[in-house]
A and B are shown apart, each in its own frame.
Chain A
Amino acid sequence: MADSTYPIPGAVEAPSRRWSQAAVLEWLNSWVTTVDHKKLGILYIVYAIFFLLVGGAEAIAIRIQLIQPNMHFLSPQVFNRIFTMHGTTMVFLFGMTYIFGFANYLIPLMIGARDMAFPRLNALSFWLTFFGGILLYYSFIGGGGLYGAGNAPDVMWWAYAPLTERAFSPGHAPDYWALSLIVTGFGTIGASINVISTAFCMRCKGMTLMRLPLLVWVMTVASGLALITITPLTAAQVMLLIDRYLGGHFFDTQAGGSAMIWAHFFWIFGHPEVYVLVLPAFAIANEVIPVFSRKAMFGYPAVVASSVAIAFVSLGVWAHHMFTIGMTSVGNAFFVLSTELVGIPTAIKIFNWLATMWGGKIRFATPMLFCTAFVIQFLLAGLTGIILSIAPWNWQLHNSYFVIAHFHYILVGAIAFCIFGGIYYWYPKVTGRMLSEKLGKWHFWLFVIGFHITFDVMHIPGILGMPRSIYTYEADRGWGTLNMIVSIGGIIQAIAVLIFAWNLISSYFKGKIAGNDPWDAWTLEWSTPSPPPVYNFATDPVVTSRRPLWDLKHPDDPDWHYE
Chain B
Amino acid sequence: MLEKSVQYVLFRAKSWWLLFAFLICGAAFAEGPQATPSIFAPSSTPADEIYHLSLFVLTITGAIFVTVGGLLAFVVFRFRQRGEDDTTEPAQIYGSTQVELAWTVIPVLIVVVLFLTTARMIFAIQDAPKPKAALDVTVVGHQFWWEFNYPNLGIHAVNELHVPLSNQQSPTPTFLKLLSADVIHSFWVPQLAGKTDLLPNNVNELWVDPLHPGMYVGQCAQFCGVQHAKMLLRVYVDTPDQFAAWVKNQQQPAVADDSVAVGRHVFETQACMNCHTIKGTAATGRFGPDLTHLMSRDTLASGAMANTKENLREWIRHPDTFKEGALMPAMQLNDQQLDQITAYLATLR
Query: Which residues of A approach B to under 8 Å, CB–CB?
Result: 75-77, 80, 154-156, 160, 162-163, 167-168, 253-254, 256-260, 293-296, 298-302, 324-326, 328-329, 332-333, 336-337, 340-341, 343-344, 347-348, 350-351, 354-355, 357-364, 369, 372-373, 375-376, 379-380, 383-384, 386-387, 389-400, 441, 444-445, 448-449, 452, 456-457, 459-460, 463-465, 467-474, 476-479, 554, 559, 562-563
**Chain A, interface SS category:** helix
List residues 1-16 of chain B with CB under 8 A from any CB of chain A: 2-3, 6-7, 9-10, 13-14, 16
B107 touching A343 by the CB < 8 A rule? yes
Complex interface: chain A residues within 8 A of B119 (CB): 333, 336-337
Query: Distance (Å) between the CB of A294 and the closest chain B CB?
Result: 5
What 0/1 pattern do residues 183 to 226 of B give for CB contact below 8 A with A? Answer: 11010101101111101111011000000000001111111111
A364 touching B111 by the CB < 8 A rule? no
Looking across the interface, which residue of chain A has its beta carbon closest to that of B121?
A392
Complex interface: chain A residues within 8 A of B127 (CB): 329
Query: Distance (Å) between the CB of B56 and the closest chain A CB?
Result: 9
A361 touching B81 by the CB < 8 A rule? yes
User: B99: CB under 8 A from chain A?
Assistant: yes
Given contacts A337-B119, A441-B2, 9 further A-B contacts (CB under 8 A): A154-B226, A155-B223, A257-B201, A326-B178, A329-B127, A343-B110, A376-B69, A472-B230, A477-B35
Looking across the interface, which residue of chain A has its beta carbon closest to that of B73?
A376
Looking across the interface, which residue of chain A has its beta carbon closest to that of B201?
A253
A299 touching B65 by the CB < 8 A rule? no
Pick the contact of A392 from B13, B21, B49, B143 — CB < 8 Å?
B49
Q: A163-B225, A340-B115, A473-B229 are in contact. Are A369 and B6 (CB under 8 A)?
A: yes
Query: Distance (Å) between the CB of A74 and the closest chain B CB?
Result: 11
B38 touching A464 by the CB < 8 A rule? yes
List residues 50-92 of chain B with CB under 8 A from any CB of chain A: 50, 53-54, 57-58, 61, 64-65, 68-69, 71-72, 75-76, 79-81, 86, 89-92
B36 touching A156 by the CB < 8 A rule? no
Query: Distance (Å) between the CB of B95 and the closest chain A CB?
Result: 4
Looking across the interface, which residue of chain B has its beta carbon closest to that of A154?
B226
A337 touching B115 by the CB < 8 A rule? yes
Complex interface: chain A residues within 8 A of B46 (CB): 392
List residues 149-203 of chain B with CB under 8 A from any CB of chain A: 178, 182-184, 186, 188, 190-191, 193-197, 199-202
User: B325: CB under 8 A from chain A?
Assistant: yes
Complex interface: chain A residues within 8 A of B37 (CB): 464-465, 477
A350 touching B68 by the CB < 8 A rule? yes
Complex interface: chain A residues within 8 A of B218 (CB): 465
Query: Distance (Å) between the CB of A216 and the closest chain B CB?
Result: 19
A379 touching B72 by the CB < 8 A rule? yes
Give Cα distance in the complex from A449 to B16, angstroms: 12
Q: Pick the most buried of B13, B53, B143, B182: most chain A CB atoms within 10 A of its CB.
A: B13
Pick the contact of A77 from B121, B182, B224, B325 — CB < 8 Å?
B325
A324 touching B114 by the CB < 8 A rule? no
Looking across the interface, which residue of chain B has its beta carbon closest to that of A329?
B126
B223 touching A329 by the CB < 8 A rule? no
Give Cα distance in the complex from A380 to B10, angstroms: 12
A460 touching B24 by the CB < 8 A rule? yes
Pick the contact of B90 from A294, A298, A386 — CB < 8 Å?
A294
Looking across the interface, which residue of chain A has its beta carbon closest to that of B15?
A456
Q: A299-B96, A361-B81, A364-B80 are in contact. Are A467 and B20 (CB under 8 A)?
A: no
A460 touching B20 by the CB < 8 A rule? yes
Complex interface: chain B residues within 8 A of A387 (CB): 54, 57-58, 61
B91 touching A332 by the CB < 8 A rule? no
Complex interface: chain A residues within 8 A of B274 (CB): none
Return the 9 tightest CB-CB contacts between A and B, nearest first.
A395-B194, A478-B36, A465-B37, A452-B13, A470-B229, A253-B200, A299-B95, A326-B204, A465-B190
Complex interface: chain B residues within 8 A of A298 (CB): 93-95
Q: List 13 A-B contacts (CB under 8 A).
A: A76-B325, A160-B184, A162-B200, A163-B183, A259-B202, A295-B92, A344-B107, A383-B64, A386-B57, A392-B50, A449-B13, A456-B14, A459-B20
